[in-house]
Amino acid sequence: MSNHFPVDRALFDDVMVPNYSPSAVIPVRGEGSRVWDQEGKEFIDFAGGIAVNCLGHCHPALVGALKEQGEKIWHLSNVMTNEPALRLAKKMVDSTFAEKIYFANSGAESNEAALKLARRWALDNFGAEKSQIISFKQGFHGRTFFTVTVGGQAAYSDGFGPKPGDVVHAEYNNLESFKELISDKTCAVMMEPLQGEGGIVSPTQEFVEGVRELCNQHNALLIFDEVQTGVGRTGELYAYMGLGVTPDILTSAKALGGGFPIGAMLTTTEIAKHLKIGTHGSTYGGNPLACAVGEAAFDTVNDQAVLDGVKAKEKLYFDGLKAINEKYNVFQEIRGKGLLVGAVLTEAYQGRAKDFLVAAMEEGVMTLVAGASIVRFAPSLIIPDADIAEGLARFEKAVAKLAQ
């Protein structure tokens, strides 16, 4: 068989497990915030690979890091360590509350590590009774069996047999609901400092401060899942910085590698010591290629001009979407923070977010959904203002067709 043969959407159905239903469009090249498919059609990327491509496509700093490290060393097991992993860990420690880092390959694995660490910390310090984990309805923490159970959407965890136990869910932004569940048997609380998959929902200041205070009262660890909100997405390096509430454990992935798979768990020395030698591990975690690219992405994003730019671009999206809505009245609310923006469909368009995504694709702009009734935008953090304007103009054409 030749190395090169025709690839189209039908081949997916032939060779891939059917848990995805991808678009017929097959992108083959990207540069900045533009992508081209097999036919040469150009798209503006407002999706960012689901908040991953924080510097767009083929950013020179990332390409350079990949090429340079690719000619040095690709992989070492954690029987050894390597320069890129330690450099990236040092920069993350220097820039956050954390004192210790654990590397993984994905957000789910980072969350898995955080949950296992919290359980082990509680067992060592308080005994087996302290094992309850509280998270929030509509939350999303990954697809491993532990993380999907902690995630607050039963549809994702049902149908796979008995679930990991002692996991309960409160209402997000409802402190009373949370108070009813937390006790001295709670070992950890996992929350997103802005719910992503669950609908681009920001926490109130009262809520997030109340959760932190109740965790303190009950000796429970507060875990912030910043897989989607981290690495500049909200206009802060990590979203906790804008909330003035510091977690005990934080998880990061998605944008951390700018498109190269990498995840991390960040915590303090005092908590980290409970993952003793042999308690947890990862074959690829801390991979030199991933960490070299991650270091380049982290360095580029962790710059005040870039972070300030995110806040300026947020306004362009909010203003642009509101202007579209004044003409077509399809959104009941535009919400989110930084470049994680959700346009909530009105009653008349409930359940039709996918239709907007498909129509936008036809007009040459890539968007996302967050649930059935919210159109989500998570572009490059350095998307040029001209690309925002052009992408919104294309999106308006899609809206106009659906609003007829």
Q: Which residue type sits at 2?
A: S
DSSP 203-229: PPHHHHHHHHHHHHHTT-EEEEE-TTT
* SS3 at position 341: strand
Residue 143 annotated in ligand binding: yes
Report CA-CA distances (Å) from 236 to 187, 291, 311, 341, 381. Answer: 28, 21, 9, 15, 11
Measure the CA–CA gap between 352 and 152, rounded to whole angstroms.
22
Token pair 């996991």 is found at: 167
| Helix runs in 75-142, H state only | 83-95, 107-126
DSSP 355-401: HHHHHHHHTTEE-EESSTTEEEE---TT--HHHHHHHHHHHHHHHHH
Report CA-CA distances (Å) from 238 to 198, 251, 256, 381. Answer: 19, 10, 11, 13
Residue 140 annotated in ligand binding: yes
Residue 227 annotated in ligand binding: yes
Residue 226 annotated in ligand binding: yes
Check if the beta carbon of residue 238 is closer than 8 Å to that of residue 250. Answer: yes
Residue 225 annotated in ligand binding: yes
Measure the CA–CA gap between 309 and 332, rounded to whole angstroms.
27
Residue 231 annotated in ligand binding: no
Nearest 5°: the CA angle 285, 337, 49 is 45
Check if the beta carbon of residue 98 is closer than 8 Å to that of residue 92. Answer: yes
Measure the CA–CA gap between 152 and 160, rounded to whole angstroms.
16
Q: Which residue type sits at 141?
A: H
Residue 228 annotated in ligand binding: yes
Measure the CA–CA gap between 336 and 322, rounded to whole angstroms.
13
For residue 177, which of 142, 147, 148, 138 has the smallest C-alpha distance? 138
Binding-site members for N(2)-acetyl-L-ornithine are 143, 282
Binding-site members are 107-108, 140, 143, 225-228, 282-283
Binding-site members for pyridoxal 5'-phosphate are 107-108, 140, 225-228, 283
